[in-house]
């Protein structure tokens, strides 16, 4: 437990820095790219295709992480490497399938991109070919994620990523200026930097954890033993993966095909907030999945339940307060950041922030499901989510929401999924979990009222023009105060969370 607290503090420290560098990337890079909305829309579509690589393991990566973590607890390094080698082998097979698909799109980008400009289509083709060329990087990155996360030492890998994020920020001025807009050169450069950072992380794995690369490469094959052990959980994860892709990762493709590139650009600005909040919550929760596995490895259900309750208690205000602040201040944020030309992004951004907040409420529950292998529930969720999502799109488009239909459908789907997950955890957890949720809701009321008072009495920001440094600073201060004061009030009033935070940073 002591090492977990120490590692958790280090993970949060480095990931906060990573979020800051990521925010700087958004703050400094995106306004330059949006200076040409059409090309930025194409860039968004092409880079979103890279997300398919993240899901290419067909669920086996999540399943193998569970068993590799259990082997790590048992100090069986060779079995851990065998499981990881198998998962990377499965990943590589389907990365190959995706590469074939991307080659087809690169040859004929008009299949996905609604544009009559040959210049636009040529840029899209080149960006997709770069993505294909660097596709092996995803396999190296997944190796790093697995090895560091099961040891709860993500801070090492994250530290490397911080350095390279700063480099990525620094080089944008070389490619996008008032006279040039070399999106191809910029995208190629950031892919090269991602590959270098991943290889450095692998080198540290070999030296720090005594990983035998030759032995790991020999395990890079199909293993019937590992397959039989992981297939049930992997199949459930696969269905969830497919569901997630269908209702959360095809948005730019759907928009491009039916609404055009300019609508993609409007959504792309909103998606930045969604991705920022998703990164924030992944940072908050990700160390706990491996921590949950440590309890399942020794069949400690009581410890798992206590860990779940503690996680829920101290993260609940972080799920509610920051999204609410962003929703309330979204209009000045958009105007200061990318200008009034993206006014239509305001409502969509608000919908996406609410969507990711509701998603965060489900993350501890999904971790619990995975740790306990509740496969039937996960499969039911996976099968119903796409049906709800696409039915909602058709309905909202029919009633006249048009380009807002996708964002509204996403929010609707996530809302229903969150309600289902909460109902499930209350059902299996009994009155204790039900009481926990009700107590959290009651305790968050005062901080929310304080937040609303701050918003009411602080004068609105007068946005003169996009990129005004003084307005950036003032708006940042206002958002910080509006967020931090209610959070401090909550943690001062809540005894259990005070104890958790004290224990987190205690050296004892």
Residue 488 lies in a domain: no
28: DSSP letter: H
- Model pLDDT, residue 458: 78
Q: Which residues contact 72 (CB under 8 A, 6 or more apart)?
A: 80, 150, 151
- Model pLDDT, residue 252: 62
124, 109 Cβ separation under 8 angstroms = yes
Quick one: which of 225, 220, 238 has its CA closest to 71? 225
How large is the average pLDDT for residues 311-334? 89
Is pLDDT at 192 greater than 90 in this prediction? yes
Is pLDDT at 321 greater than 90 in this prediction? yes
Based on the fold, state whether residues 39 and 103 are members of the same structural domain.
yes
Take residue 31 and report the two structure tokens written for it: 């306004």
Each residue's pLDDT tens digit, 26-50:
556 666 665 666 666 667 766 666 6
Based on the fold, state whether residues 103 and 202 are members of the same structural domain.
yes
Residue 263 lies in a domain: yes
141, 205 Cβ separation under 8 angstroms = no
CA distance 76 to 194: 31
Of residues 252 and 442, which shows the higher confidence score? 442
Based on the fold, state whether residues 142 and 168 are members of the same structural domain.
yes
Is pLDDT at 508 greater than 50 in this prediction? no
Of residues 53 and 70, which shows the higher confidence score? 70
Of residues 422 and 275, which shows the higher confidence score? 422
CA distance 240 to 243: 5
Q: What's the number of domains the chain is made of?
A: 2
Looking at the DSSP assignment, which residues form a beta bridge with residue 176?
181
Based on the fold, state whether residues 181 and 255 are members of the same structural domain.
no
Residue 337 lies in a domain: yes
Q: Could you tell me how far CA 100 lies from the centroid of its own chain?
A: 26
CA dihedral 341, 345, 347, 351 (to 10 degrees): -170
Q: Where a domain ends, among 193, 222, 251? A: 222
Instruction: Give me the helix-helix angle, 431-457 and 405-429, nearest 10°.
Output: 140
Domain extent, residue 200, equals: 1-222
CA distance 279 to 293: 22
Q: Model's pTM, two decimal places?
A: 0.64
Q: Where a domain ends, among 222, 256, 272? A: 222
- Model pLDDT, residue 486: 92
Q: To the nearest whole number, what is the mean pLDDT of the chain?
A: 79
pLDDT band at 476, cuts 50/70/90? confident
Each residue's pLDDT tens digit, 373-416:
777 887 787 778 888 888 888 888 778 776 777 788 888 888 99
3-state secondary structure 316-370: HHHHHHHHHHHHHCHHHHHHHHCCHHHCCHHHHHHHHHHHHHHHHHHHHHHHHHH
Q: Which of 51-65, 160-174, 456-470 has the highest mean pLDDT?
A: 160-174
Q: Where a domain ends, among 182, 199, 222? A: 222
Residue 380 lies in a domain: yes
Residue 375 lies in a domain: yes
181: DSSP letter: B
- Model pLDDT, residue 195: 94
Each residue's pLDDT tens digit, 140-161:
998 998 898 888 888 888 888 8
pLDDT band at 349, cuts 50/70/90? confident
pLDDT band at 507, cuts 50/70/90? very low
Quick one: which of 344, 275, 328 has its CA closest to 460? 328
CA distance 440 to 452: 19
Based on the fold, state whether residues 270 and 387 are members of the same structural domain.
yes
Residue 88 lies in a domain: yes
Based on the fold, state whether residues 260 and 218 are members of the same structural domain.
no
Is pLDDT at 226 greater than 60 in this prediction? yes
Each residue's pLDDT tens digit, 480-505:
899 999 998 888 877 666 665 566 55
């Amino acid at each position: 437990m002591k090492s977990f607290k120490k590692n958790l503090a280090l993970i949060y420290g480095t990931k906060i820095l990573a979020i800051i560098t990521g925010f700087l990337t958004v703050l400094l890079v995106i306004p330059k790219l949006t200076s040409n909305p059409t090309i930025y829309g194409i860039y968004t579509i092409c880079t979103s295709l890279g997300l398919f690589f993240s899901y290419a393991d067909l669920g086996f990566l999540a399943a193998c992480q569970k068993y590799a973590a259990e082997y790590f607890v048992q100090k069986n390094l060779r079995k851990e490497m065998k499981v990881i080698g198998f998962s990377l082998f499965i990943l590589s097979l389907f990365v190959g399938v995706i590469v074939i698909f991307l080659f087809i799109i690169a040859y004929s980008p008009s299949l996905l991109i609604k544009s009559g400009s040959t210049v636009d289509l040529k840029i899209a083709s080149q960006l997709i070919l770069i993505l294909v060329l660097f596709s092996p990087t995803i396999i190296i990155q997944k190796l790093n994620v697995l090895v560091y996360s099961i040891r709860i030492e993500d801070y090492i890998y994250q530290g490397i990523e911080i350095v390279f994020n700063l480099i990525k920020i620094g080089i944008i001025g070389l490619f996008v200026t008032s006279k040039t807009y070399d999106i191809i050169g910029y995208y190629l450069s950031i892919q090269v930097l991602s590959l270098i950072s991943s290889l450095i992380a692998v080198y540290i794995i070999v030296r720090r954890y005594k990983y035998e690369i030759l032995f790991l490469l020999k395990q890079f094959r199909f293993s019937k033993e590992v397959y039989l052990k992981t297939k049930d959980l992997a199949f459930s994860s696969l269905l969830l993966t497919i569901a997630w892709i269908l209702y959360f990762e095809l948005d730019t493709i759907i928009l491009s095909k039916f609404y055009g590139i300019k609508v993609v650009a409007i959504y792309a600005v909103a998606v930045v907030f969604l991705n920022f909040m998703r990164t924030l919550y992944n940072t908050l929760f990700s160390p706990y999945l491996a921590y949950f596995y440590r309890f399942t490895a020794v069949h400690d259900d009581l410890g798992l339940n206590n860990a779940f309750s503690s996680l829920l208690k101290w993260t609940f205000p972080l799920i509610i307060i920051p999204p609410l602040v962003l929703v309330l201040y979204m209009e000045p944020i958009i105007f200061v950041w990318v200008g009034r030309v993206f006014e239509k992004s305001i409502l969509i951004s608000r919908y996406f922030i609410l969507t990711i907040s509701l998603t965060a409420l489900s993350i501890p529950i999904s971790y619990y499901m995975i740790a306990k292998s509740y496969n039937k529930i996960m499969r039911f969720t996976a099968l119903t989510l796409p049906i709800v999502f696409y039915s909602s799109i058709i309905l909202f488009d029919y009633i006249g929401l048009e380009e807002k239909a996708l964002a509204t459908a996403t929010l609707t789907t996530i809302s229903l999924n969150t309600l289902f997950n909460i109902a499930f955890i209350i059902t299996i957890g009994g009155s204790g979990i039900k009481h926990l949720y009700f107590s959290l809701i009651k305790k968050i009321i005062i901080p929310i009222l304080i937040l609303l008072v701050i918003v009411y009495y602080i004068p609105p920001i007068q946005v003169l023009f996009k990129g005004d440094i003084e307005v950036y600073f003032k708006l940042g201060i206002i958002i910080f105060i509006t967020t931090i004061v209610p959070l401090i009030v909550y943690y001062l009033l809540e005894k259990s969370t005070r104890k958790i935070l004290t224990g987190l940073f205690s050296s004892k």
